[in-house]
Amino acid sequence: MTQGLPPLYQNVPIELAPARQLTSFPVNTFIESIAITTDGTLFISNHEAGQVVRVSLNGTQTIHATWESKIAGLATTNDGNLIATAWNASGTPVVLQVSAEGNIELLATLPDAIFLNGLTRLQGERYLLADSFRGAIWEFNLENHSTKIWLEHPLLGRSNPESQIPAVNGLKFFDGDLYASNTEQQLILKIAVNASGNPGEPEVWVTNNNIDDFAFDVDGNLYGATHVFNSVVKISPEGKTTTIATAEQGVVGSTAIAFGRTDKDNTCIYIVGNGGMFLPPPTGIVPAEVVCLEVSKKGLPL
């Protein structure tokens, strides 16, 4: 069996994509999320350090911003800033804005949320935020900083409320529908969204896939980070799963994925991870890498 692949993926076809390391971080660094701006700059969240790190296309790292507590998800805004899900020093979930200059502004505090995680733009200035432990998706309006529950449903939650594995996790749109990974239930959900931005009933699209964050190409193929399973998978529009990277390609503890956004790298997916902090490979925890996989398909425009 290829290193890092558990029984869940033993019978999945393997078609490894060409891989190269862009940069790496020290052992026990938890890189949680990635967002890429139109000029090709990678912004990644160093979760436990509360940092947003800027990484250039030549791999140079710069600490862009530092927050008082943990930072989780990142997404770009229409004006070149970043939106982040995080916690304040008291452990309450919050939404932050990180400017292009590295300034952090607290936009909203959500005392009824539990674990804000992945996020994506819904429409205009409206964003959706996954609440991995509440089993809900929140809506955040950047224009007036308001928040509300957008959808709460058992398919978004944990099968066991005592589980420490996140449920609803990554959120991305394709062809007008929202796709959401439920890591704890090993599902990918498809949620219809109407013209007003309101959700329909969640449907199970794919089962038996341990997906954290993910990204779509223009043809509707989904590329998913399997986190504790140390791999990246490609799921076709028909739901067929193929493994395209394993621990040997440097994707140990893979947490998040984003397509490059320049003419030089728009068929490359960048994968970040934590080096296996929660389920180390046989070789032990390794440095957290940022890896580029060449998938020969352009990413879906954001």
Q: Write out pLDDT tens, residues 208-266.
A: 999 999 999 999 999 999 999 999 999 999 999 999 999 999 999 999 999 999 999 99
At the top level of CATH, which class does the domain 7-294 belong to? mainly beta
Q: Write out pLDDT tens, residues 20-40.
A: 999 999 999 999 999 999 999
- Are 209 and 234 within 8 A, CB to CB? no
Tokens found for residue 189 = 């959900």
Tokens found for residue 31 = 């890189």
> What helix, strand, coil percent values describe the chain, rounded to 5?
5, 50, 50
What is the domain partition of the chain in residue ranges?
7-294
Residue with tokens 């078609």: 15
Distances (CA, A) of 165 to 44, 115, 244: 22, 11, 24
Q: Write out pLDDT tens, residues 43-77.
A: 999 999 999 999 999 999 999 999 999 999 999 99
Residue by residue, DSSP assigns 157-209 as S-SSTT--S-SEEEEEEETTEEEEEETTTTEEEEEEB-TTS-B---EEEEES-
